[in-house]
Structure formats: structure tokens, C-alpha cells
Structure 1
Amino acid sequence: MRVSEVFLVFLKLGLTSFGGPIAHLGYFRTEIVERRRWLSDEQFGQLLAISQFLPGPASSQLGFALGLLRAGSLGALAAFVGFTLPSALLLVAFAAALPLLSGAVGEAAIHGLKLVACAVVADAVLGMSKKLCPDMPRRVIAVLSAAALLVASSAFSQLAVVMIAGVVGVFFLRGVSAPKSESGFLVSYGPRTGGVLLVNFAGLLFGLPFIATGDPDFASVAEAFYRAGALVFGGGHVVLPLLQDSVVSTAWVASEQFLAGYGAAQAVPGPMFSFSAYLGAVISPEENTYLMAATALVFMFLPGFLLMAGVLPFWSAVSSNPTAGRAIAGVNAAVVGLLAAALYNPIFTSGITSPADLAVAVVAFALLVVWRVSPLLVVLWCVIASVSQLWLFI
């Protein structure tokens, strides 16, 4: 009974939760804490701290943990399926329709989705910088991280920047305190099971590259998306450069397809990581479309869920460590720099091709930041404005 309850609650959230991961947290609190009282604000805050601490999709990891505490492992699975399925199906359908968007009008509509990406990521950089870089040392870390990644952008350099920022944070962010977390909930398993889950996480991270061929087959797709899900700190839009390096740099997906799908992901509710289902559908040969989309989707989310489930029994000891708090602060500042670098390349360089494009993107940014309209309306504005240019500037 509790499993079906979890599924229905998260299916509702998956159908209605627009606005990205930060907005999702508000939806979750309203539905789970205020309306249904599955747990207290203190417990919710503790889970939120864990999801912010770990790499992976923060809002989906939080939903996974809520389902886990409510109805065990089946509840965690029900929360994931309910929250993710609507957006994944919509994006796979968009991938199927993409070849139909040929001709001038279709190309203009796809270009409009690139402009959506410009506005949304710019808004994310602004919001995250205010929250994660409140002082000069962290701003310096963010700027230097962005500069390094603009010079050398790859999965290795991104990981190196994040690790260096964590070390810098330990030594130079002395005024940052550790995340607060008090023992407020119990999981149905102990540290031994948590340790096994963490070993599985590491085993897949280091083992999958040995079976990846480099071609867009199931093993290589599983490895690429698992690596992206395992290394992304901050969730949401931060996964963009990791996925871009995994599927565009390898020529599995064209840059135009990638940015069009990313723009479409802004128009659907649910987690941003559902973008992986779209990419899997675009990568795959026609006869394996749905299986490849499911592979990309599952392996994108799997590392974050293994980490969340594995860390839960150990969290209190880890989070109370002052050194961990400083390292986390340094990593978070680097995340802002990583996203700022991605805003320029590939988003700005691929999306803004004329002064008119820049004007459309600026208006879209104002709609998001000043008037705080629904992202769906921003998508409509960018697509309509882009298509309108066909007649205005002929």
C-alpha cells in the first residue's frame, strides 16, 4: 500500500513540477512535509543536506531517499519511476519528432530551443553564484575554475578542477562551517549494507570503462552516462558540460541535436537528468531506440542513487567534520565556474549567431529572472521569436 502511495505522489510531482531542481525542492516540501507529514522539517532538511553534498541529481536523490524512508527499496524505486517517467517519455517523443523538424521553420524552431538554453543556464549561473559564492575566496575559485575549463574542457579536466577546488577549500575557506545534520531518521539497513552499495558505485565507475568500446553501443552508452552521473556536482544544469563531452565530442550526437534537446528539456516537468533519455534515443539505431533511451536514463541516475543509499548510514559522522564542510564549499564554488564556462561554450557560441538572437535571449533571461514566469512560456517565446525571424529578416 505504501509503495503505491509513494508512486502516485511522485507521479503527480513528475507531471507538475516545473522550474528545475531548486523549484522541485519546494514542491517536495509542500507535498511531503506540509500536506502528508511523512517526515518533519528537520528530517527533510537533513536529507536535503545529503543530496546537496553528493554528486548527482539533487532533487531526484532527495525524492529517492523520501521513497526509501517511506516504503523501503521498492518505495525508492516507485519514487524514481513516478517522478522521472513523464519527462522521459516526453523527451523520447521529442527525439522521435526531431527528424520531422526539417526545412526552414523546423530549423528555426530548433534554434529557438538553443536560445532557451542560453537564458536558463545564465539564470542558473546567476542564482548559484549568489548562493555558493557569497565571499571573495569562493568567487576567486569560481573564476579560476571557469578560466581553466575554457582553456581545456574535457571530462578529465572537469574532474581535476573539482578535486583541486576541494583541496583549496580545505586550506583557504577557514570561515566555512560543516553542514548541520542531527540524527533524525533511521534507515532499514546498517553501515555494512551502505558500504556494499558504495563499493558497487566505485566498481561500476572504474569497471565500466573496461567494457566500453568507444562506439555508440550499449556498453559505451552505459559507461558514458554513468560517468556523467557520478561526476556531476550540483545536479541540474551542471550535467550539461559532462554530457556534451560524452556525446557531442565523440560525434554520437550532433551539437544541434544536443542543444535542441536541452532546450526541450526546459519545457517539461520533472528532473533535468531525464535529458539522458532523449540523448539515448538520438544515439541509438532505430530498432533499439527505446532500449538505448532506457539504458542512458538508468545509468544516468544510478550512481547518484547508489551514493545516496550508501551514505545514509554514515552521514552524521561525515557531515559533522569541519574539513568536509570546507571541501564541499570549494567544490560548490568550482561548480559555478564549470557552469559559467559551459554557458560560453557550447551554449553561447552555438546559440547566438546574430544581434537578433542576442535580443531574444536577453528577453528570455528577463522573463526568467525579473518576472519569474514559467519556463514553458520562455520556451514558447524563444521558439516563436526564432521562427518569426524568417519573415522579419528575409
Structure 2
Amino acid sequence: MTKPNTRRAEGRKIVQPLSTISTAQIFLCFLQLGFTAFGGPIAHLAYFREAFVAKRHWLSEAQYSELVAMCQFLPGPSSSQVGFALGYHAGGWRGALAAWLGFTLPSALLLTLAAVGVLATQGLPTGILQGLLAVAVAVVAQAIWEMAKQHSAGGGRLIVMLLAAAVLCVFSSAQATVLVLILAGLIGAISFRPTSSDTQTAALRAPSFPIGILLLCLALSLLFVLPLLSTLSPWLALTDSFYRAGALVFGGGHVVLPLLQAELVTPGWLSADTFYTGYGLAQAVPGPLFTLAAYLGASVPALASPLLGASIMLIAVFLPGLLLVIGLLPFWAHWQRHLRVRAAVIGLNAAVVGLLLATWLVSIVPHAWTDWRGVALTIAASTALQWAKWPAWLVVLLSTAAGFALAMV
């Protein structure tokens, strides 16, 4: 196993020694985010950066940016993959599992309860949802600013960032995102020259090369094995459907919707009304949108146990992305030693900032700023986070309360 340097100066910041981070601490930190991280995958990345880079210093800004860049290329839920890799970096396999459970459990439980009828299915009141989205606008804006200072300083990097943002504002598909990132990497490899700060990045924790190869082979082989077993039982058939959806999705949770619809509604496993009710509820809970799988697994009549159905389908949809991100880590760490690869990562990181900016402009701001209340809540949340330095969880609670109160005006 490759072990990273766990303590080094970065300006005035010191990366915390990984030996001081317990599995319980990892779980509790991600559990807090699982209850408060609203706003979708891009917002989740901003919350992660605030929690683990700016506040706790579990890893450096450069290390975090490399994780984000790597996960953008992989199929699966990018924010959950970054969270899983953060947990692995902090605490090995136990840390990875603790991170995934903590971040996923709150929304998965809420959606499972909704599926069995314990919760109402109307979603969150408008005012509360507006308050949550306002915090997401503030958190993502802060992350974009900080990451831009790190990765888009200088004419060439700034141009790559702005071009990536402009293209992705117009073409927001997953294919366009992957293409823009590939082109940015090529531009970086050809045009940029790594500086000493670009080449002296502490390594991320990674498994050995044999373990990495094993994980990648397992992820690929399940794509071929599960369809062969799918005729044996409804459980295996649905496991195959959810695994395939998780393995073939680029671009985040929303892209999985048509795949799961084709796998569940068209064959008759679920009604369209049940499917879209679950999708609507998934928008109103924190954490990853892939936890929609828990609602769907608990709702399929052919599966006798709602809790078991939710658990198995949840694991199936997340498993391919998680195997891929940990399997790729040792190769990613090896590639980083080559100057051309480092130069490509410079271009890639600049494009990732552009991706964040485009998503903020196109997807987050319009949903939060529907009237003056959204703008006012965003200004208040930004002030509390940036200048008052209040913790994100407190800002989330106050913003939701303020949003509910303003909705009554």
C-alpha cells in the first residue's frame, strides 16, 4: 500500500496526520454532511472541500483537486466517489466504508421510509427548500472562488476555465462534459509547464497495483456475470439492472433517471407514478441522488422485503463507481509522476473549475433565486460562511428556518 506524506506545510495550513483520524470520526463527519449537504453533486464537492480541506485539513487543496478531477472521468456518482476516496485516504478500507455509510445513510433511510408509507410524499415545504438551495449557492460560490485562485491563476489556465464554463453552459450533457475535460487535459499537456508547486504534491493513499487491477477487473466482470444470472430470480434481475445503471452513468445522479426508468418502468417492475414520486422525493432530501435506489428497491412489489430490497439495490447502484475509483487510485498516483501528465492535470483542474462555474450558473442559481427571498437568503448565508466563519451545519439550519419564515410573508 502506498502511504502519503501525512504532514506538511502549505502556506499556513498543516495537513493533519492520518494516524490521528479514527474510523468513528470519519463516520460522524460524513454523517453530518449526509444530513446537511443539499444541492446536488457539485454542491456536495463544495461541502467536502469546506469540511476536509479548509476546516479539518485531512488533505491539501491540490490532493482534493486531483480526486475531483479523477472522479469526473469515471462513471458513477462523482460526489459519492470523491467521498469514498476521501474516506479511504483518511482511514483505508474501514474509512472508505464509514464515509459511504455516513454520507448515504440519512437520505437512504428517509427514502426507504417514504417507500413504505411512513413519511408523507409531498416533499419539503417551498420555503425550507429555498433556504437549502440558497446555502448551496453560497457554498458552491465560495468553493469556485477558492479553487479558481488555486487552479485558474494565469492567462492560460483562466482561458481554459472560462472556455470550459462557456461550452458547458450551452451544452450540459454528460458527453459534452467528458469531451471538454479530455480537451482541457490535452491542451494542458501540450501548452502548460508544471511549476515546482504543481510537481511536489503529496501522494494520496492508494492500494497496491495488484489490488487496483483486481478491483477494476471485478467491476468489469460483474457487468457480464450479472446478466447471465438475472434469469434465476427477480432479486438477481433487479441487482443486474441497478448495477448496470450505476456502471454506465456519466455526469451524476440526474443522468441515471432514464436508465432506471427503462429498467424498472418499461418492464413493469414499477408504475410510472411510483417511479416519479421517488424521484421527486430524492430532490428534497440531502446526500447523493443515487439513494433513489433505496426508494425504488423498497417499492418493487416482486421483492417481498422492502428493507432488504432497498439495501441490496442501494449497494448495487453504488458498487461499480466505488470499485472503479479505488481501483484507479494506484495508477493515478503513478501517472502523476510524469511531467506531461502533471501538465495535463493542470488543464484538467482548470476545466473542473469551469464545470463548477457552469453548473452553478445553469443549475443551482436559477433554482434558488426564484424571487427576492432567495437572493436575500444567499447574501445572508454567504456573509455567515465567508466573513462570520459560522459552521456550514449552523448556516443550513438558520437558512432553512429563515426560508420557512419568509415563505409566510
State TM-score, norm by structure 1: 0.69
Task: Tell me what 1:126 maps to.
Answer: 145
Q: Shift of the alpha carbon at 1:123?
A: 2.1
| Whole-Å separation in 1 of the counterparts to 2:282 and 2:216 | 31
Task: Tell me what 2:252 maps to.
Answer: 242
- Note if contact 2:126-2:407 (Cα within 8 Å) is conserved in structure 1: no
* 1:21 counterpart = 2:34: no
Q: Shift of the alpha carbon at 1:139?
A: 1.4
* 1:145 counterpart = 2:164: yes
Q: Shift of the alpha carbon at 1:82?
A: 2.3
* 1:60 counterpart = 2:84: yes
Q: Describe the SS at the equivalent of 1:371.
A: coil
Task: Tell me what 2:284 maps to.
Answer: 260
Q: Describe the SS at the equivalent of 1:386.
A: helix
Structure 1 residues 323 and 293, CA, compared in 2 at 3 Å: closer, same or farther? farther
Structure 1 residues 286 and 113, CA, compared in 2 at 3 Å: closer, same or farther? farther
Which whole-Å deviations, capped at 9, do the CAs of 1:190-219 have from their partners, x for residues lacking one?
A: x4443343444566689999999xxx9654
Structure 1 residues 351 and 257, CA, compared in 2 at 3 Å: closer, same or farther? farther
- One-letter amino acid of the counterpart of residue 83, structure 1: A
- Note if contact 1:176-1:329 (Cα within 8 Å) is conserved in structure 2: no
Structure 1 residues 384 and 328, CA, compared in 2 at 3 Å: closer, same or farther? same
Structure 1 residues 351 and 277, CA, compared in 2 at 3 Å: closer, same or farther? same
Q: Describe the SS at the equivalent of 2:284.
A: helix
Structure 1 residues 293 and 335, CA, compared in 2 at 3 Å: closer, same or farther? farther
* 1:156 counterpart = 2:183: no
- Note if contact 2:194-2:339 (Cα within 8 Å) is conserved in structure 1: no
Task: Tell me what 2:326 maps to.
Answer: 308
Task: Tell me what 1:88 maps to.
Answer: 104
Task: Tell me what 1:379 maps to.
Answer: 396
| Whole-Å separation in 1 of the counterparts to 2:299 and 2:382 | 36
Q: Shift of the alpha carbon at 1:146?
A: 1.2
* 1:281 counterpart = 2:307: no
Aligned residue among 212, 237, 243 for 1:222: 243
* 1:356 counterpart = 2:373: yes
- Note if contact 2:134-2:399 (Cα within 8 Å) is conserved in structure 1: yes
Where do residues 296-335 of structure 1 align in structure 2 (5 Å cutoff)? 296=314, 299-300=317-318, 302-312=320-330, 314=331, 317-335=334-352
* 1:167 counterpart = 2:186: yes
- One-letter amino acid of the counterpart of residue 85, structure 1: L
Q: For structure 1, which runs of at least 5 residues remain unmatched after alignment?
A: 31-40, 69-75, 232-240, 266-274
- Note if contact 2:151-2:346 (Cα within 8 Å) is conserved in structure 1: yes
**Bigger fraction of residues in helix:** 1
Q: Shift of the alpha carbon at 1:311?
A: 3.9
* 1:197 counterpart = 2:215: yes
Moved more, 117-126 or 149-158: 117-126
| Whole-Å separation in 2 of the counterparts to 1:131 and 1:318 | 21
Where do residues 342-353 of structure 1 align in structure 2 (5 Å cutoff)? 342-353=359-370
Structure 1 residues 200 and 175, CA, compared in 2 at 3 Å: closer, same or farther? same
Which whole-Å deviations, capped at 9, do the CAs of 1:297-348 have from their partners, x for residues lacking one?
A: 6644653554434542x56642220001011111111111111111122222
Q: Describe the SS at the equivalent of 1:100.
A: coil
Moved more, 326-335 or 47-56: 47-56
- Note if contact 2:85-2:325 (Cα within 8 Å) is conserved in structure 1: no
| Whole-Å separation in 2 of the counterparts to 1:113 and 1:357 | 10
- Note if contact 2:182-2:348 (Cα within 8 Å) is conserved in structure 1: yes
- Note if contact 1:259-1:347 (Cα within 8 Å) is conserved in structure 2: no
Aligned residue among 163, 182, 200 for 1:180: 200
Q: Shift of the alpha carbon at 1:108?
A: 2.4
Structure 1 residues 122 and 221, CA, compared in 2 at 3 Å: closer, same or farther? farther
- One-letter amino acid of the counterpart of residue 156, structure 2: P
Percent identity between the aligned chains? 21
- Note if contact 2:185-2:348 (Cα within 8 Å) is conserved in structure 1: yes
Q: For structure 2, which runs of at least 5 residues remain unmatched after alignment?
A: 1-20, 37-45, 72-77, 231-236, 262-274
| Whole-Å separation in 2 of the counterparts to 1:329 and 1:102 | 45
Q: Describe the SS at the equivalent of 1:174.
A: coil
Task: Tell me what 2:355 maps to.
Answer: 338
